[in-house]
């Protein structure tokens, strides 16, 4: 079935070539990083996690969002999602591939990667993250591929796939909960030490993932004529709307607890992100931009006359995705390190190598997504 | 392509490629023996044992010392030694180039012990070590990123 | 060497603490001055190493402890602050003990405070390490296994005291003078103070403690009520850094003279 990904028009192959070029540049940058050390990035003693882990955190959310298609369709027989469930599952596959790639490029000693399996440490959340992410990858590849293959053969999917699909639903919740636990259990990091970090992660995931799916569906319609269906897209938009409202609510809750309690350890990181701390405010414009475009997206999504127009819907979805990317991929991770445990403010900016490697990983995920989507669209359009 | 002839040709080609190291010929060099310094009569274990097992022994030593605070090794004859690569092993076999590197270089083994552990008398200092490093490669004309040795 | 034989040898070794000496030419065990306890199976009763930083004896601008530690452990020096590696350092009182010391005397709050890994009894860094490259020894020291560390830096995020440093690049060009008694590290692993476990195995005090001419650093067994350290802790008011986090640090700070 993968041979369907090997046929395409000129634009398709130009896109593949473009992605391969990005991957090659990223790989060359990564080789530089292996030579020099992680110091080639903007990370340092105070900001020991940067863009890589920020992207990893965000993409885990995108991966988890597949459950927003799987759950209504398989558990509640919501037929309108039938055409696009596999797109959600394949997006999860591409996103998990990106997550693992980001973790690997962030490691100081990637040659010792197997140590995680040789010395399993159940008390460490990284161990569980490796377990659940790999399991989720396997689940989604199998579920997506088998159901697509069945669709191609025009037969119902085999019975044994059902339990796996049902398993992927709580599993999706677990991957993002475990990732939130990476942060939420650390003493001394006030921005992260909050019980609502996992709920906040899930809410932003369920807003970002479906938003991306809306954008991707519009793109697919343009390049291949594949129509996801108005009802499905409309329902996705509803999911994005309510999930993002919940996410903003959670953000407001963070503000309240931090500032009403007046406890400096709780306040300082939010202070830095949104208002500036000790004269440092490099991330402030981005955080407010995130709030602004997120709010604008919420408005567009809630006004029926606006959201029914595809152009506005796609723009709002893209804006919501970017807003959450800034909030989670940049603000949350970097903000957790400011102020440092030494109570100083060190600011962070990624370097060129870091950005190129990040783009290379994004291109890798996009390539996986392109190949899988091409296969899926070919099957759906031929049958 | 079908049929027996292409299959046999393919098998023959494959066999040739796979056995290439054996028939390529070239000079057969014997393994250079490591130089044992004069006056040394006995190692921690016998030479035959060490030849076969020194890597495993060192691997166990490093876990034992670092993770279990167990610094004392008792060999098969009941003699006690400190578990230390630089202290015990290099204490006698002090010329790393003539002892360790002889065999390692011959079989293209690069144990990463030496990335951290210092051989006695190994040259130090920024000037000495920076000169030994390969020149930094740069695929992008970026001047802002500091290079190795700066 | 198979598992059973190794265990037999270990048991035989513990029993043979007063075994035969080495033959001529071999590095004799006695010459290394390893303690019997360094067999790993000696001192059965739990030692808990701890330290008191006596700020009444710590004087500016002395940094003998820092110089001693960093030279003995081949800690590199980087000009770029983001690459910095430090095992022991000085920091402002306001940063070491945030949101405290209001209206305290300048004797307490003006001088920079010595900070290092607290070797917590409940260490968050150990909890998060996915490969147990950082682990808690029986004697309370939170140790680093550089052979196993994968460089994920989770421990750096977990440490609430900022005690850990990462090798962002190869450290060797930045070490002024090698100390051949201790290895360097390589790019990609985390490092921090180890309470000089390699010196403790030889019955010596940590390098910083030895280097301090004013006896400002008191090192000892927190589980021994008769130790000098415990005497000091019970006779004067001491602080720990961020005790409310439940980490149970083993490093204490005194700002007032004792009543001894």
Selecting from B139, B142, B147 the residue whose C-beta is nearest the C-beta of A28 gives: B139
User: Count of A–C CB contacts within 8 Å?
Assistant: 149
* Cα A317 versus chain centre, distance: 14
More confident: B47 or A28:
A28
C-alpha neighbours within 13 Å on the C-beta side of residue B87: 22
User: In which element (H, E) is residue B114 found?
Assistant: helix B113-116
Within 6-35 of B, beta carbons closer than 8 Å to C belong to none
Which subunits have 3 or more CB–CB pairs within 8 Å of chain A? B, C
Q: What is the pLDDT of residue B22?
A: 87
Q: A271 is in which domain, residue-wise? A: 2-382
Q: Is the pLDDT of residue A376 over 60?
A: yes
Cβ proximity of A210 and A87 under 8 Å: no
User: Count of A–B CB contacts within 8 Å?
Assistant: 21
More confident: C84 or B128:
C84
Looking at the DSSP bridge assignments, the partners of residue C144 are: C134
In a domain, C28, yes or no: no
- CB distance from B73 to chain C under 8 Å? yes
How would you list the strands of the sheet with C217-221, edge to edge? C217-221, C49-54, C251-254, C238-239
Spatial distance between the Cα atoms of A141 and A113, rounded to a whole number of angstroms: 23
CB A337 to CB C246 under 8 A? no
User: In which element (H, E) is residue A253 found?
Assistant: helix A230-261
- CB distance from C30 to chain B under 8 Å? no
Which pLDDT tens digit goes with each residue over C136-146? 999 999 999 99
Average pLDDT over residues A240-244: 97
CB B78 to CB C19 under 8 A? yes
In a domain, C114, yes or no: yes
CB B81 to CB C139 under 8 A? no
Cβ proximity of C35 and C202 under 8 Å: yes
Q: What is the CATH number of the domain that holds C246?
A: 3.30.70.20
DSSP C112: P
In 3-state terms, what secondary structure has residue C238?
strand
Spatial distance between the Cα atoms of C229 and A281, rounded to a whole number of angstroms: 44
ipTM: 0.91
C175/chain B closest Cα distance in angstroms: 6
User: Which residues does chain C have within 8 Å of residue B70's beta carbon, measured at their own beta carbons?
Assistant: 10, 38-41
Q: What is the pLDDT of residue A293?
A: 97
Q: Which of A291, A382, A274 is nearest to A338 (CA)?
A: A274
CB C157 to CB A337 under 8 A? yes
Spatial distance between the Cα atoms of C108 and C112, rounded to a whole number of angstroms: 9
Which pLDDT tens digit goes with each residue over C2-25? 566 766 666 666 555 444 433 333
Cβ proximity of A357 and A129 under 8 Å: no
Cβ proximity of C208 and C216 under 8 Å: no
Per the structure block, which two tokens stand in for A320? 């919501």
Q: What is the pLDDT of residue B134?
A: 38
Cβ proximity of C221 and C49 under 8 Å: yes
Selecting from A36, A108, A188 the residue whose C-beta is nearest the C-beta of C160 gives: A188
C10/chain B closest Cα distance in angstroms: 7
CB C178 to CB B39 under 8 A? no
Q: Which of C158, C173, C167, C81 is nearest to C126 (CA)?
A: C158
pTM of the model: 0.88
Per-residue pLDDT of chain B (150 residues; tens, 9 = 90+): 678 999 999 999 999 999 998 888 877 777 778 877 777 777 889 888 998 999 999 999 999 999 999 999 998 888 888 999 988 888 888 888 888 888 898 888 999 999 999 988 788 755 444 444 433 333 332 333 333 333
Nearest CA in chain B to C23: B42
Measured N-to-C along each axis, helices A284-302 and A264-274 cross at an angle, to the nearest 10 degrees, of 80
Q: What is the pLDDT of residue B24?
A: 86
Q: Which of A231, A176, A181, A182 is nearest to A209 (CA)?
A: A176
Q: Which of A323, A263, A361, A293 is nearest to A56 (CA)?
A: A361
C34 pLDDT band, cuts 50/70/90, is low
Q: How many independent structural domains does chain A possess?
A: 1
Selecting from B139, B144, B146 the residue whose C-beta is nearest the C-beta of A32 gives: B139
- Please state, as a whole number, how many other Cβ atoms lie within 10 Å of the Cβ of residue A141: 17
End-to-end Cα, chain A, rounded Å = 13
In 3-state terms, what secondary structure has residue C91?
strand
Q: What is the pLDDT of residue C14?
A: 57
Nearest CA in chain C to B132: C173
User: Count of B–C CB contacts within 8 Å?
Assistant: 127
Per the structure block, which two tokens stand in for A269? 């990181």
In a domain, C7, yes or no: no
- CB distance from B134 to chain C under 8 Å? no
User: Which residues does chain A have within 8 Å of residue C156's beta carbon, measured at their own beta carbons?
Assistant: 48
Spatial distance between the Cα atoms of A50 and C168, rounded to a whole number of angstroms: 13
Q: Which residues contact C106 (CB under 8 A, 6 or more apart)?
A: none
Residue whose token pair is 């490629």: B17
- CB distance from A355 to chain B under 8 Å? no
Q: Which residues contact A267 (CB under 8 A, 6 or more apart)?
A: A190, A258, A259
Q: What is the pLDDT of residue B40?
A: 73
Which pLDDT tens digit goes with each residue over A194-229? 999 999 999 999 999 999 999 999 999 999 999 999
Q: Which of A272-281, B57-66, C17-26, C96-105 has the lowest mean pLDDT?
A: C17-26
Substitution target in B69, B84, B91, B128 with the highest count of C β-carbons within 10 Å is B69
| Cα dihedral A23/A26/A28/A34 (nearest 10) | -130
DSSP A112: G
Q: Is the pLDDT of residue A381 over 70?
A: yes
Q: Is the pLDDT of residue C26 over 50?
A: no
In a domain, C13, yes or no: no
Q: C61-87 b/e with 16+ CB inside 10 Å = b?
A: eebebbebbbbbbbbbebeeebbbbbb
Parallel/antiparallel/unpaired status of strands C251-254 and C49-54? parallel
Selecting from C24, C135, C177 the residue whose C-beta is nearest the C-beta of B124 gives: C177
In a domain, C22, yes or no: no
Q: C101 is in which domain, residue-wise? A: 50-254
Nearest CA in chain A to C125: A186
Selecting from C85, C98, C167 the residue whose C-beta is nearest the C-beta of A264 gives: C98
Spatial distance between the Cα atoms of A77 and A64, rounded to a whole number of angstroms: 20
Selecting from B137, B142, B144 the residue whose C-beta is nearest the C-beta of A35 gives: B137
More confident: A383 or A380:
A380
In a domain, C2, yes or no: no
Substitution target in C20, C183, C191 with the highest count of B β-carbons within 10 Å is C183
Q: Which of A143, A140, A141 is nearest to A161 (CA)?
A: A143
User: In which element (H, E) is residue A44 found?
Assistant: none
Spatial distance between the Cα atoms of A250 and A243, rounded to a whole number of angstroms: 11
Cβ proximity of A66 and A168 under 8 Å: yes
Q: Is the pLDDT of residue C243 over 50?
A: yes
In 3-state terms, what secondary structure has residue C49?
strand
CB A352 to CB B140 under 8 A? yes
Q: What is the CATH number of the domain that holds A188?
A: 1.20.1630.10
Average pLDDT over residues C181-195: 95
A230/chain C closest Cα distance in angstroms: 44
C-alpha neighbours within 13 Å on the C-beta side of residue A5: 14
Nearest CA in chain A to B137: A32
Q: How many independent structural domains does chain C possess?
A: 1
Spatial distance between the Cα atoms of A34 and A360, rounded to a whole number of angstroms: 15
Substitution target in B56, B57, B65, B71 with the highest count of C β-carbons within 10 Å is B71
DSSP C87: S
Cβ proximity of C160 and B100 under 8 Å: no
CB C176 to CB B125 under 8 A? yes
Q: Is the pLDDT of residue C205 over 80?
A: yes
Nearest CA in chain C to A349: C82
| Cα dihedral C165/C171/C176/C181 (nearest 10) | 80
- Computed over every residue of chain A, the mean pLDDT equals 95
User: Which residues does chain C have within 8 Å of residue B76's beta carbon, measured at their own beta carbons?
Assistant: 9
Q: What is the pLDDT of residue C141?
A: 96
User: Which residues does chain A have within 8 Å of residue B140's beta carbon, measured at their own beta carbons?
Assistant: 29, 352
CB B116 to CB C197 under 8 A? no
C70 pLDDT band, cuts 50/70/90, is very high
Q: Which of A44-48, A279-283, C39-43, C108-112 has the lowest mean pLDDT?
A: C39-43
């Amino acid at each position: 079935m993968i041979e369907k990904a090997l046929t395409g028009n000129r634009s398709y192959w130009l896109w593949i070539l473009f992605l391969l070029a990005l991957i090659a540049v990223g790989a060359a940058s990564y080789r530089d990083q292996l030579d020099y050390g992680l110091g080639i990035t903007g990370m340092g003693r105070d900001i020991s996690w940067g863009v890589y882990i920020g992207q990893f955190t965000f993409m885990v959310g995108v991966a988890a969002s597949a459950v927003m298609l799987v759950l209504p369709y398989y558990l509640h027989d919501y037929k309108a999602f039938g055409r696009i469930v596999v797109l959600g599952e394949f997006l999860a596959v591409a996103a998990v591939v990106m997550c693992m790639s980001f973790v690997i490029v962030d490691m100081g000693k990637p040659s010792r990667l197997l140590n995680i399996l040789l010395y399993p440490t159940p008390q460490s959340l990284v161990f569980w993250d490796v377990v659940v992410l790999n399991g989720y990858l396997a689940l989604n590849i199998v579920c997506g591929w088998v159901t697509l293959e069945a669709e191609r053969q025009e037969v119902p999917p085999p019975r044994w796939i059902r339990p796996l699909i049902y398993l992927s639903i709580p599993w999706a919740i677990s991957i993002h909960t475990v990732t939130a636990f990476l942060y939420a259990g650390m003493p001394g990091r006030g921005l992260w030490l909050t019980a609502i970090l996992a709920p906040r992660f899930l809410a932003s995931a369920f807003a970002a993932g479906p938003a991306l799916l809306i954008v991707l569906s519009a793109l697919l319609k343009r390049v291949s004529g594949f129509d996801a269906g108005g009802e499905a897209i409309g329902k996705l938009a509803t999911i994005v709307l309510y999930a993002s409202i919940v996410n903003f609510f959670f953000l407001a809750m963070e503000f309240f607890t931090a500032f009403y309690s007046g406890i400096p350890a709780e306040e300082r990181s939010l202070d830095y992100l949104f208002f500036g701390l000790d004269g440092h405010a490099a991330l402030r414009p981005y955080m407010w931009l995130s709030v602004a475009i997120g709010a604008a997206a919420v408005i567009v999504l809630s006004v029926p006359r606006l959201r029914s127009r595809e152009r506005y819907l796609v723009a709002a979805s893209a804006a919501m995705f970017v807003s959450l990317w800034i909030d989670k991929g940049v603000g949350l991770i970097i903000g957790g390190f400011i102020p440092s445990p030494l109570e100083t403010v060190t600011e962070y900016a990624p370097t060129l190598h870091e950005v190129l490697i990040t783009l290379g990983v994004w291109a890798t995920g996009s390539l996986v997504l392109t190949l899988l989507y091409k296969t899926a669209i070919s099957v759906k359009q031929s049958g | 392509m079908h049929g027996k002839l292409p299959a046999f040709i393919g098998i023959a080609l494959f066999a040739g490629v796979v056995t290439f190291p054996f028939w390529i010929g070239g000079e057969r060099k014997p393994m250079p023996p490591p130089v044992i310094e004069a006056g040394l009569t006995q190692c921690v274990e016998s030479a035959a044992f060490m030849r076969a097992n020194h890597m495993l022994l060192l691997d166990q030593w490093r876990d034992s010392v670092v993770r279990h605070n167990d610094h004392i090794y008792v060999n098969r004859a009941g003699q006690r030694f400190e578990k230390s690569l630089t202290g015990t092993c290099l204490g006698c076999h002090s010329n790393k180039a003539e002892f360790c590197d002889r065999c390692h270089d011959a079989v293209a083994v690069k144990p990463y012990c030496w990335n951290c552990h210092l051989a006695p008398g190994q040259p130090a200092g920024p000037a000495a070590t920076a000169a030994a490093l390969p020149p930094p490669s740069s695929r992008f004309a970026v001047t802002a990123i500091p290079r190795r040795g700066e | 060497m198979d598992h059973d034989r190794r265990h037999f040898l270990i048991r035989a070794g513990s029993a043979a603490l007063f075994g035969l000496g080495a033959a001529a030419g071999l590095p004799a065990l006695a010459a290394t001055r390893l303690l019997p306890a360094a067999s790993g199976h000696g001192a059965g009763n739990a030692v808990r190493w701890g330290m008191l930083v006596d700020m009444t004896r710590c004087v500016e601008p002395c940094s003998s402890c820092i110089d001693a530690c960093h030279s003995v452990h081949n800690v590199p020096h980087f000009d770029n602050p983001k690459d910095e590696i430090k095992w022991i350092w000085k920091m402002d009182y306001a940063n070491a003990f945030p949101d405290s010391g209001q209206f305290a005397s300048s004797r307490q709050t003006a001088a920079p405070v010595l900070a290092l890994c607290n070797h917590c009894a409940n260490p968050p860094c150990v909890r998060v390490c996915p490969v147990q490259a950082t682990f808690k020894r029986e004697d309370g020291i939170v140790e680093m296994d550089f052979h196993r560390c994968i460089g994920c830096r989770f421990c750096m995020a977990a440490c609430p005291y900022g005690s850990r440093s990462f090798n962002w690049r190869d450290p060797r060009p930045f070490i002024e003078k090698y100390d051949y008694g201790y290895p360097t590290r390589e790019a990609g692993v985390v490092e921090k103070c180890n309470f000089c476990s390699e010196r403790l195995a030889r019955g010596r005090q940590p390098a910083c403690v030895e280097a301090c001419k004013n006896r400002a650093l008191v090192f000892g067994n927190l589980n021994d009520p008769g130790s000098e350290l415990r005497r000091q802790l019970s006779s004067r008011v001491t602080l720990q850094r961020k005790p409310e986090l439940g980490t149970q640090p083993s490093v204490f700070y005194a700002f007032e003279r004792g009543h001894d």
